[in-house]
Amino acid sequence: MRKPVYYTANEVAKIFNRDPHTIRDWINHGCPTPEGLVRLQAAKLGKSWTIKDEWLAIFELRVRPTPVRPDLELEIPRHSEKESP
């Protein structure tokens, strides 16, 4: 079993290139997504928040939009018999 990694709100802010206040908002109120608010799970230790790596991974999956499958049907133009050499 692997040992979990814990992050502070400041470390998560650096990962997401956001202000630490934004991370605390995600913890307390949620991050807006098209499906609604998604809260970042965290534990309060003293005066600071601690975020487990698993919680961060789950949060990332929930806030990122689902990738759209590309249309793999290619339309290849057909040359008429007159255009053929």
Please report whether residue 39 resides in a domain: yes
The overall average pLDDT reported for the chain is 86
Q: Is residue 19 one of the residues assigned to a domain?
A: yes
pLDDT band, very low/low/confident/very high, at 34 (cuts 50, 70, 90): confident
pTM for the full predicted model: 0.72
Partners of residue 14 on adjacent β-strands = none
The tokens for 44 are 């309060």
Residue 38: domain span: 6-63
Q: According to the model, what pLDDT value does residue 82 have?
A: 59
Query: 């999956």: which residue's tokens?
Result: 61
Total domains in the chain come to 1
Tokens (6 digits) for 9: 């709100």
Cα 44 from Cα 9, distance rounded (Å)? 10
What is the pLDDT averaged over residues 53-79? 76
Sole residue written with tokens 């949060």: 59
